[in-house]
């Protein structure tokens, strides 16, 4: 059941990939990326992960703004990654890897920051994803979670959503983060109902 659901979603994003950057949602997402960058705080020579990277637009923007940044984009859609690799003008500083957010193919403490824009709503196992994010972050590393938020409860939304997308309000984000050992540093509206939540992995 879960594997059917995941493969259906993968197919949906595979089909969307060739036109993704030409359609309105991507223009909207790029405006969000721009605003996100004003809140980003990175160490020197940062190594970052973009989870659910799609066509790689956010990583390209980060690589332009931080010339010493190295980045990895992960996505489960082979076609999204194909577009991201074709447009990658920062190789080998930026690389793209196929994988699932629920089971990251990276070692512990590998990244200074993890980004996740408009992808968390699709996850069937959000707690598992946050535990994976906490695992791959260095102590003191940051997680930038950007997604639509809502005043409704998660269960009201699941009931109303045939695609089983889920939106999380501030409190539910904080609860999920805390269960994964991440401290919430703050919430910021970026554009309309799109909320950035910044988490930190405690330093040892
Ligand atoms: C709406 S797109 C957003 C892409 C990009 N982050 C942006 O801001 O434009 C959502 C992305 O999440 C990816 N995705 C959804 N569920 C995933 C999962 N469980 N593991 C990895 N990628 C996933 C999709 O393939 C898609 O590329």
Instruction: Note the pLDDT tens digit of each residue in 71-124.
Output: 999 999 999 999 999 999 999 999 999 999 999 999 999 999 999 999 999 999
Average pLDDT over residues 13-31: 86
- Distance CA(195)–CA(188), nearest Å, equals 6
- Distance CA(33)–CA(3), nearest Å, equals 30
What is the best residue among 2, 77, 119 to mutate for testing ligand 1's pocket, by most ligand atoms within 8 Å of CB?
119
What is the best residue among 21, 30, 97, 122 to mutate for testing ligand 1's pocket, by most ligand atoms within 8 Å of CB?
122
pTM exceeds 0.85 for this model:
yes
pLDDT of residue 84: 97
pLDDT of residue 163: 60
DSSP 64: H
* Residue showing tokens 């535990």: 131
Strands 94-98 and 47-51: unpaired
Distance 135 CA to ligand 1 centre (A): 20
**Per-residue confidence at 7, pLDDT binned at 50, 70, 90?**
confident
In 3D space, the residue among 147, 153, 141, 123 whose CA is nearest the CA of residue 181 turns out to be 141
Distance 54 CA to ligand 1 centre (A): 5
Pocket of ligand 1 (CB under 6 A): 9, 13, 29, 52-54, 57-58, 75-77, 80, 100-102, 117-119, 122-123
What CATH number was assigned to the domain covering residues 2-35+44-200?
3.40.50.150
The rounded radius of gyration (Å) of the Cα atoms in the chain is: 16
Burial class (CB in 10 A: 0-12, 13-18, 19+), 194: buried
């Amino acid at each position: 059941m879960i594997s059917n659901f995941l493969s259906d979603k993968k197919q949906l994003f595979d089909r969307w990939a060739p036109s993704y950057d030409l359609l309105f949602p991507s223009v909207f997402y790029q405006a969000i990326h721009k605003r996100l960058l004003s809140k980003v705080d990175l160490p020197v020579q940062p190594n970052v992960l973009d989870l659910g990277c799609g066509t790689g637009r956010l990583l390209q923007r980060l690589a332009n703004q931080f010339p010493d940044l190295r980045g990895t984009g992960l996505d489960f859609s082979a076609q999204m990654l194909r577009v991201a690799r074709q447009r990658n003008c920062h190789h080998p500083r930026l690389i793209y890897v196929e994988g699932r957010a629920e089971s990251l193919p990276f070692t512990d403490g590998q990244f200074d920051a993890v980004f996740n824009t408009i992808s968390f709503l699709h996850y069937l196992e959000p707690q598992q994803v946050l535990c994976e994010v906490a695992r791959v972050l260095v102590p003191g590393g940051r997680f930038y979670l950007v997604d639509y938020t809502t005043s409704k409860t998660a269960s009201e939304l699941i009931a109303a959503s045939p695609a089983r997308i889920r939106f999380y309000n501030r409190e539910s984000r904080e609860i999920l983060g805390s269960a994964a050992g991440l401290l919430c540093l703050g919430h910021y509206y970026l554009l309309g109902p799109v909320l950035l939540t910044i988490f930190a992995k405690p330093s040892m």
